[in-house]
Amino acid sequence: MARGSRLARLAALGLLGVLTLSGCDMPNNEFWRFGWPEGITEQATEMRQLWTGSVIAALIVGFLVWGLILYSVVAHRKRGDELPRQTAYNLPLEIAYTIAPFIIIAALFFFTVTVQNKVQDRSENPDETIAVNAFKWNWQFVYPDTQGPDGEPVNTVGTSSDIPILVVPTDRKIRFEVASADVIHSFWVPEFLFKLDVIPGNENGRDNVFEVTVRKEGAYVGRCAELCGTYHAYMNFEVRAVSGDDYDAYLQARESGMGTSEALESIGQSGKATTTTPLPLVENKSVNQQQAGG
């Protein structure tokens, strides 16, 4: 009974370590990411911390199980032909083995739901709103709070020969309202560590919504992550994250009549995508832009 009590206490100690580490803020160096990519958004940081805590918890449980197995192999190895004393039940140990997995699952479920709610949280008044329209086989990015010379909101549309650039500000909460004009597409920026399948209908703009806060300036490739037809591979785009001041200057340039390339160059950015290039057309079949929604 004393041996069983010691094992039960050891299991409880390991469980306490799992729960404690799961709730801690984890360092963001490469080792502690355990293979998780380094994201550029606040939401990516939350998911990375969940991953790190889960891996550490799994390692603690693993070492505990491996230790118990090794202990059993060594302590109960065969020492002769005489059978050892047989023990039918060890109630404290069985209770610990039964309760501990349920507590671990409940803790992981709690932290997973908490992070999921943070990632999917929608604020009442985001700093910026950008409409993303997916269509076969390209993207349209609309800035609904702006007005160009033609009276319509500023927008950028990709073509088979021109990668569309989605310009976003850093350190502002950005709401993306994603819609599809035809089939299921998927809006994916790997550095966001997040993608959203865009299902046609379903009151586009209500359910296909997410928000991020970008913390790092730079150029990042974006893709369609859902096989959507013959020219699915052509649906690349680029996210250009700039400072808030440069973002405001970019929108002002677009409202004055400049195109995407000219407006980017006016704030010291490359006017062309730098992370991806258009794919060559196959058999001269055009995949030029289609009017989103039409």
Domains of the chain: 2-75+90-119 (no CATH), 128-266 (2.60.40.420)
From the list 192, 136, 182, the residue with the least C-alpha distance to 160 is: 136
Q: How many CA atoms lie within 13 A of 50 on its CB side?
A: 20
Residue 281 DSSP label: P
Dihedral sign computed on CA atoms, order 212, 245, 158, 279: negative
Spatial CB neighbours of 140, under 8 Å, sequence gap ≥ 6: 132, 133, 155, 156, 157, 158, 164, 292
CA distances from 281 to 113, 170, 273, 287, 288 (A): 44, 35, 18, 8, 10
Give, for all 294 residues of the chain, the pLDDT tens digit: 455 555 555 555 555 554 455 445 555 567 777 788 888 898 888 888 899 889 998 999 899 889 989 998 888 888 888 877 777 788 888 888 889 889 989 999 999 999 999 988 888 889 999 999 999 999 999 999 999 999 999 999 998 889 999 999 999 999 999 999 889 999 999 999 888 888 887 665 557 889 999 999 999 999 999 999 989 989 999 999 999 999 999 999 999 999 999 999 999 999 999 999 888 765 444 444 444 444
pTM for the model: 0.75
Cα–Cα distance, 172 to 54 (Å, whole number): 29
Instruction: Report residue 278 as tokens.
Output: 């258009």
